[in-house]
């Protein structure tokens, strides 16, 4: 007799979503807010993922000038994204994928593709609802992929702009469909004009009203300000923005962004979120995070690091956003070693004009030359690499910083005066850094976007090297973003002259790490990849740890 089929009971997870939107102005820390909310919800035993939506047309962040847009953050799968993604990964201690990032351009591209494939079944494809529907399907897909209890979606820009309207519409549509599953957090700015002498809540009231005109009501307001919000201001915001006082979260400026999660908890933010979303708490455990922030508080002894780059200046202002992951990676390692990192930004082109200034580098415990592109400032960087090599100043070159170290070695040790990278306008006789074969055609076709060697690639680390000692592993996986490489034709000569390629691609063709032996230099290391992208506060990168150790010794 046939047995009745056993039916397997599967419970469908109730996925919840938090939209984080900005009011008043940009740059007040929506990314850190999103990341910190993620962290405190993780501490309540929930699985969290985060998505960034950027309202611009670019398909990714890879083609934008870092001086204007900040760092381009590369994910493991090679997608070039916004720097906020770095904060998510660092705070959540996780690796995200291209599903966790979208731009207006990417959404439209997919909708048009689907239309061409007849996937809309003969319908007229319209901005509304088809664009928001595509956005929603992407959000839900990312949530499923991460099997997240809570998916936090940060909407770029501020409310009231044209650009992000369709993303807010997607949030509104999701809220309509399942009101209990969606929460809106408004990150607003509460200024304290020095002449007025008190905090002003009016801009926040306006922002909340503007948000209302998109059909969304703020459930929680994170009020960014110089100093903590007092009870009067909280009441006022609550009353005029129609939220309860408990839902107004004071978010004053802090010494370190890593203190933000604990600050939020002072106002009971995770409790408020769980209550509003109807989720039962699964405990509370911030131990590891707190032990890290205690390290920050205890770090006293300074370690002075110079970051030599070129993407600092915008008008009269100096911003370090272009190197944010490098800076964070230095901090993680310094704190773990009990030191307070003191970072100085140095524009490399100054050394081209005034080489005498190089001797100032002696004031630092270590020098980092991060990634970069193009001609400007490169000769200055080469001079810096030369100075650090000769004067035994710990040197860490990342990507371009590694390539220029090879050029410097070829010029000054091999005596190939004309050695250079072919990335320069004038083609050098000695193409020490050459274009990768598969890249040549792409450049000829002006195929620039998303076409570099991107994302995770394996490398093999040689025995008895600084790198091996740091990684304690033979096989490593690191994230890349480059078009050029050390020219294989010069490897033998360079190695014979004492340069050690301690990391290579598995087929031995691509040089991934260079170093000088410890006997010759306290720390002279370069990586073709970007180790800074996988350094985490609770898990600093081994090479940064080794670099900081060498700096401390100096």
Catalytically active residues, by annotation: 399, 530, 532
Map tokens 């004067």 to a residue.
Answer: 391
Instruction: Report DSSP letters for 150-189, one per residue.
Output: EEEEEEEEETT-STTHHHHHHHHHHHHH-GGGEEEEEEEE
Nearest distance, CB of residue 530 and ligand GLN, angstroms: 7
Which of the stretches 76-84, 219-227, 291-299, 398-406 binds ligand GLN when contact is defined by CB under 6 A?
398-406
463 CA to centre of own chain: 31
| Cβ-based nearer residue to ligand GLN, 448 or 520 | 448
| Cβ-based nearer residue to ligand GLN, 31 or 309 | 309
Binding mask 469-498 for ligand GLN (x = CB under 6 A): ------------xxxx--------------
The sheet that has 248-252: what strands, in order across it? 101-103, 48-54, 150-158, 16-22, 182-189, 220-225, 248-252
Binding mask 304-343 for ligand GLN (x = CB under 6 A): ----------------------------------------
Nearest distance, CB of residue 83 and ligand GLN, angstroms: 14
| Cβ-based nearer residue to ligand GLN, 427 or 519 | 427
| Cβ-based nearer residue to ligand GLN, 359 or 509 | 509
Nearest distance, CB of residue 515 and ligand GLN, angstroms: 18
| Cβ-based nearer residue to ligand GLN, 224 or 482 | 482
Backbone phi, psi, residue 119, to 5°: -75, -10
Joined together, the tokens standing for residue 87 give: 């904060």
Nearest distance, CB of residue 101 and ligand GLN, angstroms: 19
Closest CB to ligand GLN belongs to which residue? Answer: 371
Residue among 19, 345, 387, 400 that touches ligand GLN (CB under 6 A):
400
Which has the closest alpha carbon to 98: 157, 39, 142? 142
436 CA to centre of own chain: 26
- Report the site for ligand GLN in 423-442 (rule: CB under 6 A): 423
End-to-end CA distance of the chain: 82
Cis peptide before 303 (omega within 30 of 0): no
Cβ distance 449 to 59 under 8 Å?
yes
Which parts of 279-323 fold into alpha helices (H)?
Answer: 287-298
Nearest distance, CB of residue 372 and ligand GLN, angstroms: 5
Cβ distance 525 to 388 under 8 Å?
no
Burial of 92 by CB count in 10 Å (0-12 exposed, 13-18 middle, 19+ buried)? buried
Map tokens 């524009």 to a residue.
Answer: 347
| Cβ-based nearer residue to ligand GLN, 483 or 536 | 483
Which of the stretches 8-16, 77-85, 128-136, 395-403 binds ligand GLN when contact is defined by CB under 6 A?
395-403
Query: Could you give the C-alpha distances from 457 to 453, 479, 488, 506, in angstroms and in order?
Result: 9, 7, 18, 9
Residue among 20, 399, 494, 548 that touches ligand GLN (CB under 6 A):
399
Number of residues that bind ligand GLN (CB under 6 A): 11
Binding mask 354-383 for ligand GLN (x = CB under 6 A): -----------------xxx----------
Nearest distance, CB of residue 382 and ligand GLN, angstroms: 14
| Cβ-based nearer residue to ligand GLN, 151 or 487 | 487
Of the CA atoms within 13 Å of residue 201, those in its CB half-sphere come to: 21
Nearest distance, CB of residue 478 and ligand GLN, angstroms: 12
Question: Using the rule CB under 6 A, is 420 a contact of ligand GLN?
Answer: no
Question: What distance in Å separates the CA atoms of residue 527 and residue 405, rounded to the nearest whole number?
Answer: 10
Binding residues (CB under 6 A) for ligand GLN: these are 371-373, 399-400, 403, 423, 481-484
């Amino acid at each position: 007799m046939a047995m009745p089929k056993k039916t397997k009971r599967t419970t469908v997870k109730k996925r919840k979503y938090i939209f984080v939107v900005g009011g008043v102005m940009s740059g007040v820390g929506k990314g850190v807010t999103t990341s910190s909310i993620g962290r405190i919800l993780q501490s309540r035993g929930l699985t969290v993922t985060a998505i960034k939506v950027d309202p611009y047309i670019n398909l990714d962040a890879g083609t934008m000038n870092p001086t204007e847009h900040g760092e381009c953050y590369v994910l493991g799968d090679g997608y070039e994204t916004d720097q906020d993604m770095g904060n998510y990964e660092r705070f959540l201690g996780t690796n995200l994928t291209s599903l966790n990032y979208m731009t207006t351009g990417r959404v439209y591209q997919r909708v048009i593709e689907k239309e061409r494939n007849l996937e809309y079944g003969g319908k007229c494809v319209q901005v509304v609802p088809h664009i928001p529907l595509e956005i929603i399907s992407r959000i839900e897909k990312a949530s499923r992929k991460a099997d997240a209890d809570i998916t936090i979606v940060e909407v770029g820009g501020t409310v009231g702009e044209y650009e992000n309207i369709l993303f807010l519409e997607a949030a509104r549509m999701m809220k309509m469909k399942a009101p209990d599953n969606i929460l809106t957090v408004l990150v607003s700015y509460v200024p304290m004009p020095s002449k007025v002498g008190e905090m002003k809540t009016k801009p926040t009231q306006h922002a909340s009203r503007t948000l209302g005109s998109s059909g969304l009501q703020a459930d929680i307001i994170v009020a960014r300000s110089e100093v903590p919000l007092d009870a009067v201001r909280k009441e006022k915001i609550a009353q005029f923005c129609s939220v309860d006082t408990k839902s107004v979260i004071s978010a004053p400026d802090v010494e370190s962004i890593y203190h933000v999660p604990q600050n939020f908890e002072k106002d009971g933010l995770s409790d408020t979120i769980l209550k509003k979303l109807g989720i039962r708490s699964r405990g509370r455990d911030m131990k590891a995070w707190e032990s890290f922030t205690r390290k920050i508080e205890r770090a006293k002894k300074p370690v002075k690091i110079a970051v030599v780059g070129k993407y600092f200046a915008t008008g009269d202002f100096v911003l370090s956003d272009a190197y944010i992951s490098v800076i964070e990676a230095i901090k993680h390692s310094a704190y773990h070693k009990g030191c307070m990192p003191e970072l100085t930004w140095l524009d490399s082109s100054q050394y081209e004009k005034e080489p005498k200034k190089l001797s100032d580098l002696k004031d630092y415990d270590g020098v980092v030359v991060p990634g970069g592109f193009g001609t400007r400032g490169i000769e200055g960087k080469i001079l810096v690499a030369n100075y650090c090599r000769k004067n035994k100043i710990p040197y860490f070159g990342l990507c371009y910083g590694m390539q220029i170290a090879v050029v410097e070695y070829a010029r000054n040790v091999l005596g190939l005066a004309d050695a250079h990278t072919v990335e320069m306008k004038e083609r050098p006789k000695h193409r020490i850094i050459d274009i990768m074969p598969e890249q040549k055609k792409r450049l000829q076709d002006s195929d620039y976007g998303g076409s570099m060697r991107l994302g995770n690639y394996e490398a093999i680390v040689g025995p008895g090297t600084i790198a091996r000692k740091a990684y304690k592993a033979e096989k490593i996986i690191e994230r890349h973003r480059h078009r050029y490489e050390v020219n294989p034709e010069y490897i033998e000569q360079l190695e014979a002259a004492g340069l050690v390629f301690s990391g290579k691609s598995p087929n031995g063709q691509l040089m991934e790490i260079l170093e000088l032996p410890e006997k010759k230099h306290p720390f002279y290391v370069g990586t073709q990849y970007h180790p800074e992208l996988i350094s985490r506060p609770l898990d600093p990168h081994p090479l940064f740890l080794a670099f900081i150790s060498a700096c401390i010794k100096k």
